[in-house]
Amino acid sequence: MGPAAVVEGAIQGTATALKAARLAGLLAYDELLLLGMRRFHGPWRTRFAKVFTWAGDGRSWAVAGVALVATGRQTGAELALRVGVGSTLGALAAQVLKRTLNRARPTRAIAGFQALAEDPDAFSFPSGHTAAAVAVAVTLAGEPWGAGPLALLLATGIALSRVYLGAHYPFDVLVGGVVGAGAGAIARATVSELLD
């Protein structure tokens, strides 16, 4: 191996080490933000956060879909299909990423840390609740009765509740939101194409 190859190898090694250091710094900051959220804990906030988390469960999206179908209107059925497809795609994409990336939940990664709600599984990144909620918000954007802004407000509450309760790091919900936005856009396009 010549001197040029040694230098090139050293440069690549240094670049890899810098990337790893940046990621470690980002994850450390993420942990600090999560721990900083603890200062806001209080009994009524915890109850409120648990309600938001419950609203982000798959059962809640199924109930919302059934309620939309029950309106008996074509628009309701189309929105129900969008909500179902969007929330399912968002949750599935999040689960695939969780099983691939394997980031441990805060309760398993931070010594002495206790979440305020039970963790649904071992992995944290990205947030499935947030992905599904943001997907629903995107599918409802521009619909009558302020459905889009209300769904976005709900999605924001769900995302914040996941960090507040200690189930996720802030970066988990941020990426969950991005995954959900993509899933919601796919659901809108797919359902519209199917029904046209």
Q: What is the CATH number of the domain that holds 183?
A: 1.20.144.10
pTM: 0.84
Residue 14 within any structural domain of the chain: no
Q: Is residue 101 part of a domain?
A: yes
Range of 178's domain?
Answer: 42-195
Q: Which DSSP helix (H) or strand (E) runs through 59?
A: helix 58-70
Q: Decide if 162 is inside a domain.
A: yes
**Number of domains observed in the structure of the chain:** 1
Q: What digits encode the pLDDT tens for the residues 154-193? A: 999 999 999 999 999 999 999 999 999 999 999 988 887 7
CB within 8 Å of 155: residues ≥ 6 apart? 130, 133, 134, 136, 137, 177, 180
Q: Is residue 48 assigned to a domain?
A: yes
Instruction: Decide: 157 and 107 in contact? Cβ < 8 Å.
Output: no
The three-point CA angle 80-84-89 to 5° equals 150
Cα–Cα distances (Å) from 71 to 15, 74, 75, 77, 139, in that order, read 57, 9, 9, 8, 18
Residue 34 lies in a domain: no
pLDDT tens-place string over residues 36-55: 888 888 899 999 999 999 98
